[in-house]
Structure 1
Amino acid sequence: MNGVIFNADYFVLLGALLLIVGVITTKFSSRLGVPALVLFIVVGMVVGSDGLGIIYFDNARYAQLIGIIALVIILFEGGLQTKWSTVKSVAIPSLSLATLGVVLTTTVVAVAAKLVLDVSWLEGFLFGAIVGSTDAAAVFAVLKGQNIRERLGATLEAESGTNDPMAVFLTLSIIQLLLSDQPNYFLMAGSFFWQMGIGLIMGLAVGKLAAAAINRINLDSSGLYPVFALAFALLTYSITALVGASGLLAVYVAALIIGNSEDLTYRQSIFRFNEGFAWMMQILMFMILGLLVFPAQFTLSIMLKGLLLSIILILVARPLAVFLSVIGLKYNFKEKVFLSWAGLRGAVPIVLATFPMLAGIPNSQLFFNVVFFVVLTSALIQGSTISHVARWLGLTMAKKVQSSHSLELVSIGKSNAEIIEFVIDDDSMINGMRLENISFPNKVLVNAIIRDNQLITPTGKTEIKANDLLYVLTARESKKQLKELMEEKKETVEDENVKETVGIS
């Protein structure tokens, strides 16, 4: 009995130390210019059996399970933070990249894998499918806090959030072809439309149900609301996957619906809880994947083949897929170059590489090792240079204010009021105005202003300035009018004045 307790205590201690190391690693990643996910993988490799030998881990099934759960949570957090108004404007190019782009990338890499790895055509296409999609965890982590143009960032995030179903479908279909003597191509084609269509429908349905349930339920503790929201994310994935559809797509769509719900109760609490939890799952997932790799198996031949395939993926397959997928969709040459360079590979390809291992496909271990090397080089080379490439191409914008402050009504679930935060842009209509001169709706009060990380107690004479963070208490019935006022731009007012001057109604 004492031995069992000792083992449990040992693993708790080890888990705590790994989390602490993972969190500290994120601090060093920004200074070193290396994506944090690369350092998480390195930590996993260091403490693994071929490193310090602290942890021996070679169970692909557990790694796959942990990876899928982590991806659900990461996709959910990414969808919550994504504005529907932004995604709507890039829906067509994102979906084109998520479908046609993945197929094109898979095809080009398949030809390269056939020649470089000396495998069959089907095995070549299996390798191409595994690395064919960009990774949501990698893209969300690398783009967070960057000042890349909003349209480009939204395109990459929407693509990475919706292209996993295509990669999963291709991977599983090719595995089925390899294992089956008489594959049914008609059923495989129908399976694709089922996965995508039902995944979208389930995401919309559960997302609306979750938003309504969160708003209507009256919980005694505010800390239960984020847990309640997360439970819907896991529910969305599980019930969608159980009917043979794409659970990952459903989770991302449901998160979009929940995050963009107008009157979401405890919005900031839900967002911040899931942001922290997503970081924890990223640390866990990439460390587990690092543990699953045995660096001693990385022979010079594997590293050279992996490097060659990575170069083909980065410089040939991805650019070709991007340029063909967004034809006629109003992206200029520089934007296409950036989208090509920002196609990061991360956890998804490594998780997909476990499927052939579990299915007993020949060369599956070779594929896993090469895929891991491709992912590592992609994250290291592309991930560490994204911001530099954006600046070089002139595709950056003024850095947005990222507030670390939060203010929320503790009793919001039982009241008809809530506190909303607004960041004042340079072109905001109320920029430069005094509070006493702003025509706020009834039952609205500015509670606090954060300016240069300093708290300002607002009075009628207080002048609003660009980059101010306003916390506004509003009754539910005044919320829509308040948002319209705060989101109104100076150009809109000037354009209306011009129209009136020239007689345009």
Structure 2
Amino acid sequence: MGTVFLSDLVLLVGSALVLLGTVSSLLAARFGAPILLVFLLLGILAGEAGPGQIHFSDYWATYMVGSAALAVILFDGGLRMRASTMRGAVVPAVILSTVGVMLTAGLVALAALPLLGLPPLESLLVGAIVASTDAAAVLFLVRAQGLRLGRRVGAVIEIESATNDPAAVFLTVTLVELLASGAGNPGWALTVGLVQQMVLGAALGVAGGFGLAFVLNRLDLPGGLHPALVVAAAVLIYAATAMLHGSGFLAVYLAGLVLGNRPVRAIASITSFHDTVTWLCQIVMFVMLGLLLSPSRMVQYLPPALLIAAFLVLVGRPVAVFLCLWPFRFNWREKAFISWAGLRGAVSIFLATIPMLAQLPNAEAYFNVAFVVVLVSLILHGWSLVFAARRLDVALAEPAREAKRFEIDLPGQSEHELVAYPVTGDTLAISSGLLPLWARLVFVVRRGQVLSPQEAGVLKSGDYAYILAPPRRVHRLDPLFMPEERVPSETVAGFPFSGEVMVGDVADLYGLSVPQDERAVSIADTFADRSDERPLPGMRFPLGNAAMEALEVEEGRVTQAALRFETLGEEGDSLLTRVRRQIRRRAATAEEGASPGP
């Protein structure tokens, strides 16, 4: 009977922790706290040093659960990544995730060598454990705060996170094997092994994605089983690739990327289900990692671990990012933000369990140092990331929150899905009354009645519009159902510009200072880069001391924009005076040209 009671107790505690993690995530999002830190602290409080008094030291179970959870999380990241947003970001992201990981690990090893008093190879292991980033957490924090990153910056961060985990895992496992076997210099074995991991992971991941899409479209499964099949397939692709000595994490990300960009049956229910599963994986993984921590043992490693964390944030990560992105068209602000967005998360603690499983002599030091680095990163980056993005001007001002969209699968086909939007009084859908040619209004729910498009007429506030559209184009409907932006009254605009005008030409016309690498880019392309190719009327990007604002958007591209000058202090007033003088001069010139000759 004691065993039965113990089993019930484990179920009770486990479900209570998941429930607390779910509820606390809502409070954390409301008050701006780093949500993953909340999950981690829940695990610490439930552990041996907290009121929960749970003694948990099963590193093998943690490794197993962590592997499956990371596979599902990375698959979900690929599933939501649009191939069109990856333009210009793949090569720099891959360089960051390979060369950047090696550089970061090497630089951190230089700091760990004197601080921890470890041999060079063991110091490099410390660097490898903390070299990878958790950009999924970064992107969640940005979206929760209503901030939209520029297209290339956001894509680089997300792709890097998916491809630097494999590099960090391989480097850690290789170094652990070398230390366990007593071998010396890894030599070319490290490079050859990394190439093998990447090639096999890429090949098996792409093949697995196409195979999964084929199976989903051919099998007539009962409703609700498609999402379960996809989750099982994601873990299967990861495990099979890892057993063949390929990168399972890279494979599972690419499988999700292929599936998310293919016409697939039941894709709406699959993505909706993955929202829940991914959250559950994050909660379970961080709570388990928190349970492993022993604060009494961590205290002795606290001073050197804090110094290593400071070196990583202020020196290691920035140097690696600036060197890797030097050949590409990124300005210093974008490089600085990508450096600051190197949030360390579950992967680092997960990697620190590998030396514990191998029973290396200094395994406890690796684990506690990694834990301190993750805590510092979650606190520091978690609370400052949005501020840094706004301060460095790498995000486009968002005029409204995301549109509320409800997706409904249509059994028997994968070319279209049914989506529903609530209509409010100030949405573009009411003012324009137009839908793209590829979208068809099927029916409207108004005051409890179902109406055909002909019966409904123009959409009204309070309606629910049900629209048939291709899955890959659904996101383009969102701007039509967002509240229109109201332009602030304390602004003055210059002449409107076509979206095809070059940014440099506008800057020269008004005497504005812009980076050289942005001058030859059109206004429309700049909005596309900064808004994930989803610009909306009212969105802005900084242009010297002014801001370029989108006025008209057609088929996802800005066709007309205007320059806005904020009246901020003496500098702003003098700039406005100069602009007004320029406008009057151009108007006078136009009148002279239009007047009849003598």
TM tier, smaller: 0.7 to 0.9
Moved more, 184-193 or 89-98: 184-193
Residue of structure 2 equivalent to 1:79: 78
The Cα of 1:122 is off from its aligned counterpart by 0.7
Cα distance between partner residues in 1 of 2:404 and 2:19: 21
| Residues 441 and 465 in structure 2, CA contact (< 8 A), matched pair in contact too | no
- Structure 1 residues 54-453: aligned runs within 5 Å: 54-145=53-144, 146-182=147-183, 185-221=187-223, 223-261=224-262, 263-299=263-299, 301-399=300-398, 401-409=401-409, 411-413=410-412, 418-420=417-419, 432-435=431-434, 440=437, 444-448=440-444
The Cα of 1:76 is off from its aligned counterpart by 1.2
Cα distance between partner residues in 2 of 1:359 and 1:350: 15
Cα distance between partner residues in 2 of 1:369 and 1:190: 31
| Residues 98 and 164 in structure 2, CA contact (< 8 A), matched pair in contact too | yes
The Cα of 1:360 is off from its aligned counterpart by 2.0
SS in 1 for 2:468: strand
Cα distance between partner residues in 2 of 1:482 and 1:386: 29
Moved more, 195-204 or 398-407: 398-407
- Structure 2 counterpart of 1:272, which letter? S
- Structure 1 counterpart of 2:207, which letter? A
Cα distance between partner residues in 2 of 1:368 and 1:416: 48
User: Cα 1:41–1:484, aligned 2, differ >3 Å: closer, same or farther?
Assistant: closer
Cα distance between partner residues in 2 of 1:278 and 1:339: 24
Q: Which runs of no fewer than 5 residues in structure 2 stay unpaired?
A: 481-533, 535-552, 561-598
| Residues 434 and 461 in structure 1, CA contact (< 8 A), matched pair in contact too | no
Cα distance between partner residues in 2 of 1:419 and 1:470: 10
| Residues 241 and 248 in structure 2, CA contact (< 8 A), matched pair in contact too | yes
Cα distance between partner residues in 2 of 1:279 and 1:482: 24
Cα distance between partner residues in 2 of 1:393 and 1:481: 31
- Structure 1 residues 21-36: aligned runs within 5 Å: 21-36=20-35
User: Cα 1:84–1:49, aligned 2, differ >3 Å: closer, same or farther?
Assistant: same
The Cα of 1:61 is off from its aligned counterpart by 1.2
Q: Deviations over 1:155-205 (max 9, x none)?
A: 111110110111112112222222334566444432211100010011100
Residue of structure 1 equivalent to 2:564: none
| Residues 133 and 164 in structure 1, CA contact (< 8 A), matched pair in contact too | yes
Cα distance between partner residues in 1 of 2:442 and 2:284: 41
| Residues 60 and 354 in structure 1, CA contact (< 8 A), matched pair in contact too | yes
User: Cα 1:109–1:182, aligned 2, differ >3 Å: closer, same or farther?
Assistant: closer
The Cα of 1:387 is off from its aligned counterpart by 0.6
User: Cα 1:398–1:494, aligned 2, differ >3 Å: closer, same or farther?
Assistant: closer
| Residues 344 and 378 in structure 1, CA contact (< 8 A), matched pair in contact too | yes
SS in 2 for 1:345: coil
Cα distance between partner residues in 2 of 1:275 and 1:419: 19
| Residues 447 and 473 in structure 1, CA contact (< 8 A), matched pair in contact too | no
Q: Which runs of no fewer than 5 residues in structure 1 stay unpaired?
A: 496-505
User: Cα 1:457–1:278, aligned 2, differ >3 Å: closer, same or farther?
Assistant: farther
Cα distance between partner residues in 2 of 1:26 and 1:179: 40
Q: Deviations over 1:249-286 (max 9, x none)?
A: 0000000011111x221112101101111101101100
- Structure 2 counterpart of 1:371, which letter? A
Q: Deviations over 1:50-109 (max 9, x none)?
A: 111432101111111111111011111111111111124311111111011111111110
Residue of structure 2 equivalent to 1:501: none
**Higher RCO (C-alpha under 8 Å, 6+ residues apart):** 1
User: Cα 1:81–1:448, aligned 2, differ >3 Å: closer, same or farther?
Assistant: farther
Moved more, 350-359 or 142-151: 142-151
Cα distance between partner residues in 2 of 1:445 and 1:15: 46
Cα distance between partner residues in 2 of 1:379 and 1:482: 34
| Residues 407 and 417 in structure 2, CA contact (< 8 A), matched pair in contact too | no
Residue of structure 2 equivalent to 1:472: 467
The Cα of 1:492 is off from its aligned counterpart by 5.9
User: Cα 1:489–1:51, aligned 2, differ >3 Å: closer, same or farther?
Assistant: same
User: Cα 1:422–1:343, aligned 2, differ >3 Å: closer, same or farther?
Assistant: farther
| Residues 434 and 463 in structure 1, CA contact (< 8 A), matched pair in contact too | yes
Moved more, 135-144 or 62-71: 135-144
The Cα of 1:4 is off from its aligned counterpart by 3.0
Q: Deviations over 1:203-259 (max 9, x none)?
A: 1000011112112211122x1111111121011101101101000000000000111
Cα distance between partner residues in 1 of 2:421 and 2:69: 31
Cα distance between partner residues in 1 of 2:170 and 2:472: 42
User: Cα 1:326–1:429, aligned 2, differ >3 Å: closer, same or farther?
Assistant: farther
Cα distance between partner residues in 2 of 1:473 and 1:72: 33
| Residues 101 and 325 in structure 1, CA contact (< 8 A), matched pair in contact too | yes
Higher strand share goes to which structure? 2
User: Cα 1:75–1:136, aligned 2, differ >3 Å: closer, same or farther?
Assistant: farther
SS in 1 for 2:204: helix
Q: Deviations over 1:391-419 (max 9, x none)?
A: 1112222336434542314x523697532
SS in 1 for 2:467: strand
The Cα of 1:28 is off from its aligned counterpart by 2.0
User: Cα 1:447–1:169, aligned 2, differ >3 Å: closer, same or farther?
Assistant: same
Q: What is the alpha-carbon root mean square deviation over aligned residues?
A: 3.2
Residue of structure 2 equivalent to 1:498: none
SS in 2 for 1:203: helix
- Structure 2 counterpart of 1:205, which letter? A
Residue of structure 1 equivalent to 2:458: 462
User: Cα 1:237–1:290, aligned 2, differ >3 Å: closer, same or farther?
Assistant: same
> Which residue among 489, 497, 505 is the counterpart of 2:554?
489
SS in 2 for 1:125: helix
Cα distance between partner residues in 2 of 1:482 and 1:97: 32
Scaled by the length of structure 2, the TM-score of the pair is 0.73
User: Cα 1:181–1:417, aligned 2, differ >3 Å: closer, same or farther?
Assistant: closer
User: Cα 1:17–1:483, aligned 2, differ >3 Å: closer, same or farther?
Assistant: closer
SS in 2 for 1:412: coil
Number of residue pairs the alignment of both structures matches? 475
| Residues 217 and 414 in structure 2, CA contact (< 8 A), matched pair in contact too | no
- Structure 1 counterpart of 2:198, which letter? M
- Structure 1 counterpart of 2:554, which letter? K
SS in 2 for 1:407: strand
User: Cα 1:448–1:78, aligned 2, differ >3 Å: closer, same or farther?
Assistant: farther
Cα distance between partner residues in 1 of 2:61 and 2:375: 21
Residue of structure 1 equivalent to 2:42: 43
SS in 2 for 1:385: helix
Identity value in percent: 37
Scaled by the length of structure 1, the TM-score of the pair is 0.86
SS in 2 for 1:445: strand
| Residues 441 and 453 in structure 2, CA contact (< 8 A), matched pair in contact too | no
SS in 2 for 1:56: coil
| Residues 405 and 419 in structure 2, CA contact (< 8 A), matched pair in contact too | no
Cα distance between partner residues in 1 of 2:451 and 2:433: 14
The Cα of 1:26 is off from its aligned counterpart by 0.7
